[in-house]
Amino acid sequence: MSAPYASDPDRARGRRVQEDESAFRSAFQRDRDRIIHASAFRRLKHKTQVFVEHEGDYYRTRLTHSIEVGQVARTIAGALGLNDCLTAAVALAHDLGHPPFGHTGEDALHVLMAPYGGFDHNAQAIKIVTALERHYADFDGLNLTWESLEGIAKHNGPVTGDLPYALADYTALHDLELHTHASAEAQVAALSDDIAYNNHDLHDGLRAGLIDEAAMCALPVVRDAFADVDRRYPRLDPVRRLHEGLRRVFGAMVSDVIDTSRALLETSGARDVADVRHLGRPVVRFSDPMWADLQVIRKFLFENMYRAPPVMEKREEVTQVIHDLFPVFLNDPSLLPERWQRDVAQANGDETQLARMVCDYVSGMTDRFAFQAHARLIG
């Protein structure tokens, strides 16, 4: 049964381009399905999560990460009586704007784009789903509902101050009310991202040999999870022990968010989704003790994995790839694919427009395509 503060697809605020809705799918189901079928979603298969895509078939990529976020989000949404299709749509789309090489690529593009408005992967996701996906006859983008666009734009909270240009350009046409919090569904998607990466980055770090298992098992939350496994299964083989331990870590985070958020929602006084947006505070969150424990885990991951020497060496390499590619295309836009040339002509030599176009192209590359383009154009 849906909670009163859940988003209702039958009362959705519409799409920018009016369409007849499906006879057998809700508006939010349709959004979710369009995201899954988007070319930008498929490209996440070959985009870095932590490890560059070609470094191993076992490690998470942006695609597998997004799928895991979607699974966690649907579980939490169901427990809280929220709309799981809207939650899944936001969760699956939350990383669509990531360039090749993950946050390293984002940092490089932000530096290169500083004279032209910078780069922000959340804003780029909005640009992808509203303009850059060009498959439909009647509109550019995916023509998602207002609720899905709102969730993608501000799942991490209100967006105020100087807006990234990609977000400012769209909201000038379609007000996403960036000053308020998003729906509870979008808030669930944001917390599910935290849950997924805190868990799977420990797993991938162990697999890569960057994390010491004994040190990991001394961490808060992790310590209790593995102690429970050892108590129940004292002679379990190491592979099964690792899986059982980390799935308990996963479960502890999910349960904490459900219990904490259920209490916050019940005492919030919110009678509908509009009330959730205007409370002035999030209603989906970790408890304070769990949040404190996760900061310890996050610090451990930064020190032992995200800033490990092999990872940092690869970061330097891929940063150079982006820094080499961007000026090549900016100085000679004729190198962009044929389907981009109409937009190049319309830019009429405007450097900012051309730079933003090159940014769209480079940020859409996969890791492997960026390496291939670099080898072809730079050598």
Whether the Cβ atoms of residue 13 and residue 272 lie closer than 8 Å to each other? no
**Average confidence score pLDDT of the chain:** 95
What is the band of 49 on the pLDDT scale with cuts at 50, 70, 90?
A: confident
145 beta partners = 15
pLDDT in tens, 331-342: 999 999 999 999
Q: Residue 97: which of 17, 35, 175 has the closest Cα?
A: 35
Percent of the chain beyond pLDDT 90? 92
CA angle 248, 192, 214 (to 5 degrees): 35
* Domains of the chain by start residue, with CATH: 24-379 (1.10.3210.10)
| Contacting residues for 338 by C-beta, under 8 A, at least 6 apart | none
CA distance 325 to 364: 13
**Which residue, chain included where needed, has tokens 């490690």?**
59
pLDDT of residue 262: 98
Residues 355-361: what's their mean pLDDT?
A: 98
- HSE of 82, CA atoms in CB hemisphere, 13 A: 28
CA distance 252 to 233: 19
pTM, 2 dp: 0.95
pLDDT of residue 379: 81
